[in-house]
Amino acid sequence: MRALDRVQLVAEPVARLLCDFAAGGLTQSATARHLGVTQPRLNDLVRGRIDKFSLDALVVMLARAGRRVAVKVGKAA
């Protein structure tokens, strides 16, 4: 599995997380502080540059936002 494929596993949960922050009226700067990243780094994520992030970094951001991260393993299609 390519690195980008691994990162894309969490793309949808991260997108939902960003929508939740935006709906709450938080700025990118405030959201970035909450997630423990810089605003330019968060902007990369907002702009869909998910390939700039490791799977670990995305999982850490989800955890900092209070999201539970679970991995489900099954047979490949």
**Exposure letters 29-41 (e unless 16+ CB within 10 A, then b):** eebbeebebeeeb
CATH number, residue 32: 1.10.260.40
Residue-number span of the structural domain to which 59 is assigned: 3-64
56 part of a folded domain:
yes
pLDDT at 14 over 70: yes
72 part of a folded domain:
no
If one counts every other C-beta atom within 10 angstroms of the C-beta of residue 20, the result is 13
Provide the number of structural domains found in the chain.
Answer: 1
Asked if 64 and 72 count as a contact pair (C-beta separation under 8 A), the reply is no
76 part of a folded domain:
no
Question: Between 7 and 12, whose confidence is greater?
Answer: 12
Predicted pLDDT of residue 35: 92
Predicted TM-score of the model (pTM): 0.76
77 part of a folded domain:
no
Predicted pLDDT of residue 23: 87
Predicted pLDDT of residue 2: 67
- The pLDDT of 66-71, averaged and rounded, is 84
Q: Is 39 left (phi over 0), alpha (psi -120 to 50) or beta?
A: alpha
Helix (H, G, I), strand (E, B) or coil at 28: helix
